[in-house]
Structure 1
Amino acid sequence: MNIKKHIPNFLTLLNLFCGCIAVVFISNSKFDIAFYFVCLGIFFDFFDGFFARKFGVSGPLGVQLDSLADMVTSGVAPGFVMYIWISDIIYETYEFSILASIGFIITLGACYRLAKFNIDTRQSDSFIGLPTPANTLFIMSLPLINNKYVADFIYNEWVLIAISFLSAFVMNAEIPLFSLKIKNFSFQKYKLQIGFLSASVIMIVTLQFLAIPLIIISYVLLSVVNNILVKK
């Protein structure tokens, strides 16, 4: 029995398991614990592909499993966070809130993005549109921001609804994002990547959870600017 060929799929299932546990904590408004389980799921998601390539066992089953697992960890979880958060803000006490359910537009956007990614041959080295794990980290970090001014601004149902629509759009927008892969230590060739990653580390150390949405927003904006400069 070749154990190696099962390792990537096992890691994918661990990603799915972490997403399920995160949903349980989200239902109890424990967004901090849910965030860490989502991060763990994304960790497994990264390494399932890594080991699949390393062991040469990539296949259609792994591709389908990966998307199905991501649908929970990076689709259902962030949409559910937004639903619970908006419900808490508008003080809904009954079982279902129509307004809060708009938060699940994130889940719909992630689903479309994952399906499109599987058939898009252009995204082998870099991404077009924001990847679902990055969008998930963005959404999951918002309730954990302890900066008073930022927290007060986003603690509004209409702001959160706008963020939900925007995140679904950015995931599926035809925006080429620059690759974060650094294949050698050439500063001249990878100065954008090195500068961005260095600034990200500094922001995480100094700003904590606030750094996550700022990093992701910066990544998208820098990519847009870079695309314009490259065309010129």
Structure 2
Amino acid sequence: MIQIRVTRSVIPNLFTAMNMFCGFLSMLHTSKGDYSYAAWLIIIASLFDALDGIVARLTNSSSKLGVQLDSLSDVVSFGAAPAFLIYSSYLYSYDNIGIIISSLFMIAGGFRLARFNVQLVGFDKSFFYGLPIPLAAITISSLILTFYEPIVGFQENIKIIIIPLLLILSLMMVSKIKYNSVPKISFDSIKHHPYQFMSYLCAAILVVLTTGKAFFYIFVFFILFGIFQHIFNSIMLKK
């Protein structure tokens, strides 16, 4: 009789698999022209991406396999899926240039994940170098949810920012700009980071009240805040 051994690491890996599954579903919906569904599936994938780490810590079941599987899932859900989404919804009109720009986002995300993996040991987990790929992907998804209309597409005043935005997101992912990590949710972390948690709560309320349309503005603010913080810190170090 064949015996199958089930370890605790299976539990977080199931969440990781759901992350990848949502990324695949997103691409299927993109291929059918269901861009809003595709965008929401990327956001749902990001929730599974957050939960797999939480579950791994709660069950004490982190593993090297889980780390690699998580990165592969992220490339699918936050690299390939949003790149295909923005290409299909707008950049297709630029032919080969559109292919290059959209694929550049995916490649930059893959590089960002690879760099993160090799820095896992011995680095300060209170911040990340470069914009995390899920945040870049959600920015693209929220762009679709906020500004894309099924029949007319993007408005002209929005079209002019799409390519610069993609290039900035790609550059930010491979940059050395520091972005603060989200503290673990606990009474102690809330006590030490009250303003940070208050801002997360306000952002969540805004997203609910606007049915997701506030996502774009929130993430653009987060990206710009990281840039200005980097510039400010650089100036202060020179003094």
**Structure 1-normalised TM-score?**
0.83
Name the residue aligned to 1:127. Answer: 128
Name the residue aligned to 2:109. Answer: 110
Q: Which runs of 5+ in 1 are unaligned?
A: none
From 26, 36, 60, the counterpart of 1:56? 60
From 16, 23, 30, the counterpart of 2:20? 16
| Pair 225,64 (structure 1): closer, same or farther in 2 beyond 3 Å | same
Q: Which runs of 5+ in 2 are unaligned?
A: none
CA separation in 1, counterparts of 2:157 and 2:77?
A: 23
Name the residue aligned to 1:212. Answer: 215
From 81, 84, 104, the counterpart of 1:80? 84
CA separation in 1, counterparts of 2:168 and 2:37?
A: 25
How far does residue 152 in structure 1 lie from its aligned partner after superposition? 2.4
3-state secondary structure, aligned to 1:46:
helix
How many residues align? The count is 223
CA separation in 1, counterparts of 2:62 and 2:190?
A: 32
Corresponding letter in the other structure for 1:193: Q
CA separation in 2, counterparts of 1:51 and 1:147?
A: 35
CA separation in 1, counterparts of 2:177 and 2:54?
A: 25
CA separation in 1, counterparts of 2:233 and 2:167?
A: 28
Name the residue aligned to 1:70. Answer: 74
CA separation in 2, counterparts of 1:196 and 1:125?
A: 17
CA separation in 1, counterparts of 2:9 and 2:212?
A: 37
How far does residue 2 in structure 1 lie from its aligned partner after superposition? 3.9
Name the residue aligned to 1:98. Answer: 96
How far does residue 180 in structure 1 lie from its aligned partner after superposition? 2.9
CA separation in 2, counterparts of 1:152 and 1:124?
A: 40
From 200, 203, 206, the counterpart of 1:203? 206
CA separation in 2, counterparts of 1:188 and 1:12?
A: 30
